[in-house]
Amino acid sequence: MSNLDDLFICTNPTRRDVKNIYSQEKYARGVILKNGDVIVWNGEVMHSKVMPFMPETGLHFSIFNDKLEVCWQFEAWKDVQEKLKQAKKYFEILQYPMEGSVVVDTMFYTHTKKKFPSIRYAELFEEGYELKPMED
C-alpha cells in the first residue's frame, strides 16, 4: 500500500478506524502531536510521504505487531516518555499491548547512535522509571 491514492490518514483513531489502518498485518505509522493528538496511517507508507499533508510534526512512531518504534529527533527524553504515555488510549485502540517492546531509533533523523536497555511499554508508566539511553 505504498500508493498514496489508497492512503487512509486518521486523527485519534477509533476501533472502527483500525480495519482501515491495518491492511494485511498489524503495521501502522504515526505522529504524536504537541497537543497529544495522534495521527495514524498504514505502516507500509513512509513518514516522508505523509508529512507534507500534516499540520505540524511531532514524535514519529511505528507499530508492528507488539513492537513500538520511536524515531528520536533530539526531543528531551522525559518529553518522549510523556508523549508515549499520553498516546496510551490510542495505542490500546491500535491493539498495541502494554507488554509490547519499545525501540528507540536515534539514527534515522539524528545520525547519532544511542543504546537503550530492553524496554516494555508498561515500564514507561512505572513510578521512577526514566526513559533514557544507556551511558556510553
Residue for grid cell 511505528: 62
Alpha helices (H) in 63-136, listed in sequence order: 77-86, 88-93, 107-110
d(CA 79, CA 92): 20
For 93-131, write each residue's pLDDT tens digit: 999 999 999 999 999 999 999 999 999 999 999 999 999
pTM of the entire predicted model: 0.89
List the beta bridge partners of residue 102. 68, 119
d(CA 28, CA 129): 26
Cβ atoms of 102 and 70 closer than 8 Å:
yes
The 10 Å Cβ neighbour count of residue 77 is 14
pLDDT less than 50: residues of the chain: 1
Q: By CB neighbour count within 10 A (0-12 exposed, 13-18 middle, 19+ buried), where does 34 fall?
A: exposed
